[in-house]
Chain A
Amino acid sequence: MTETSRREVLKGAAGAVALAPGLTLIAAPADARAPGMPATPANRWGLLIDTRKCDAGCTACVDACKTEMGLTGHHRPLTDAQYLRKVNVKDPASGKAHSVPVMCQHCAKPPCVDVCPTGASMKRADGIVLVDRHICIGCRYCMMACPYKARSFAHEEQTNQREANPRGKGCVEACTLCAHRVDAGQSPACVEACAAAGHAAMLFGDLNDPGSELARRVAAEASTRIRADLGVEPAVRYQGI
């Protein structure tokens, strides 16, 4: 067996958990981008979240996010950094309740980028919206501009940061769609944790790749975007709400 084919076999085994013939839990992640190559508009990374599969009592995605990104709190729920939160909503007319994981929606037309006075708030070529903390001055305009309340501010000096997520006092921060993992050909931590918890409510993939599980499902099934009326074109879609 050649090195390449063995790698492909392993990748398939790790990335796609077969439930039944023809049905997979997680689509095989895209290949890691070659070293030295920039992100390109050929990709448009996105998520499809099925709230019907999301358990209101489960916080696997939130916990995985905090672990992956090294987010430590100060027992101040209003101001502690959260890249991903569970929003429990209820339709008062019908009584139907939903639990909705909400993170940065990685908008195609991100209001946070529009308002940033320094250019720190930015959209990468593949659609991932990031904060360049090197030039963030902590003004928090983006936090006010974001319709999804997706951004946090680091109020305290930070220690024990993860290598993949440098973060410090005085900067705004948010979900990076786990850009460090995506660049390495992996899925975001929340998606992996949701699958590991047995819910598989989150699907990650490339909206620009018609062959990807995500693009196929978005094309074939009904899905909604939160506050689609704002026209910011989020890359995160929901089903069941």
Chain B
Amino acid sequence: MRALVLSLLMGLALLAGPAVAGDLSPAIPKAQGACVDEPQAMRRHHFDFLKHQRDDTLRSGIRGARHSLKECVSCHAGKGADGKPVPVNAEGQFCQSCHAYAAVSIDCFTCHATVPEKGPKTAGVTPGVTQ
């Protein structure tokens, strides 16, 4: 049922396009790079990909797999006027714009970082890390 509703919503959003007057479909910001999968597959299955991989990574210790939330955030976090990354779950940003439209809350970001970290980290000498 969830799948049906979601695909209908997605289909409507895509068919309608931004040019239609009175359009309510979400404006989705562009990513900074190419996606790891076909956009259609990601729209339809990203939650399954992430849920599968989170168990592989945490419980089995498998690193470097294809569908990583960290990698999603690194490409999809937009930049604000000050040049700093904007959280992907902020209003109008990549994750939130579509999730708000589909009325599905995102649980990922109660725990996961919402902006990418920059540069190599060195333990003990990273000054005042806030993100």
Binding site for B on A (CB under 8 A): 33-39, 60, 63-64, 67-68, 70, 122, 124-126, 128, 130, 132-134, 157-158, 160-163, 166-169, 171, 178-179, 181, 183-184, 188-190, 192-193, 196-197
Q: A157-B110, A162-B129, A163-B116 are in contact. Are A36 and B124 (CB under 8 A)?
A: no
Q: A33-B61, A37-B62, A122-B59 are in contact. Are A67 and B111 (CB under 8 A)?
A: no
Shortest beta-carbon contacts, A-B, top 8: A35-B64, A193-B124, A39-B61, A189-B123, A168-B111, A64-B124, A166-B111, A38-B60
A192 with B61: CB separation less than 8 A: no
**Choice from B56, B63, B113 contacting A161 with Cβ under 8 Å:** B113
* CB under 8 Å from chain A, chain B span 83-116: 110-113, 116
A4 shortest CB reach to chain B, Å = 19
Number of interface residues of B (CB under 8 A): 28
B93 → A minimal CB distance (Å) = 15
Q: Which residues of B contact A (CB under 8 A)?
A: 54-56, 58-65, 70, 73, 110-113, 116-117, 121-126, 129-131
A-B contact pairs, 24 of them (CB 8 A): A36-B62, A38-B61, A38-B62, A64-B123, A67-B124, A68-B126, A124-B59, A128-B61, A130-B58, A132-B59, A133-B111, A134-B55, A157-B110, A160-B113, A160-B130, A161-B111, A162-B129, A163-B70, A166-B112, A166-B113, A178-B123, A181-B123, A189-B124, A193-B123
Is A36's CB under 8 angstroms from B123's CB?
no
Q: Do B113 and A163 touch (CB < 8 A)?
A: yes
Smallest Cβ distance from A61 to chain B, in angstroms? 8
Nearest B residue to A128, CB-CB: B61
CB A186 to nearest CB in B, in angstroms, measures 8
Q: Are A36 and B130 in contact (CB under 8 A)?
A: no
Contact A125 B63 (CB under 8 A): no
Docked pose: A140 CA to B12 CA in angstroms: 45
Which secondary structure dominates where chain A touches chain B? loop
- Kindly identify which residue among A68, A130, A161 contacts B121, using a CB–CB cutoff of 8 Å: A68
Task: Please measure, in the bound complex, the distance between the C-alpha atom of A60 and the C-alpha atom of B130, giving whole angstroms.
Answer: 18
Instruction: Let me know if A183 and B63 touch, CB within 8 A.
Output: yes
**Distance, CA A8 to CA B126, complexed state (A):** 25
Q: Known contacts being A33-B63, A36-B62, A124-B61, is A158 close to B124, with CB within 8 Å?
A: no
* B113 and A192 form a contact (CB under 8 A): no
Given the complex, which residues of B lie within 8 Å of A161, measured CB to CB? Answer: 111-113
Shortest distance from the beta carbon of B27 to any chain A beta carbon, whole Å: 25
Q: Residue of A at shortest CB range from B122?
A: A192
B111 touching A160, Cβ below 8 Å: no
CA distance A38 to B64 in the complex (A): 11
Chain B residues within an 8 Å CB radius of A168: 110-111
State the CA gap A190–B22 with chains docked (Å): 57
Q: Are B125 and A36 in contact (CB under 8 A)?
A: no
A169 to B64, CA, bound (A): 27
By CB atoms of chain A within 10 A, which of B70, B113, B129 has the most?
B113
A130 to B123 Cα, complex, angstroms? 20
Residues of B within 8 A of A166 (CB): 111-113
Cβ contacts under 8 Å, A171 to chain B = 111
Determine the chain A residues whose CB is within 8 A of the CB of B61 once the complex forms: 33, 38-39, 124-126, 128, 179, 183
- Could you tell me the distance in whole angstroms from the C-beta of B67 to the nearest C-beta in chain A? 13
**Is the Cβ of A67 less than 8 Å from the Cβ of B62?**
no
Known: A134-B58, A161-B112, A168-B111. A68 touches B123 (CB 8 A): yes
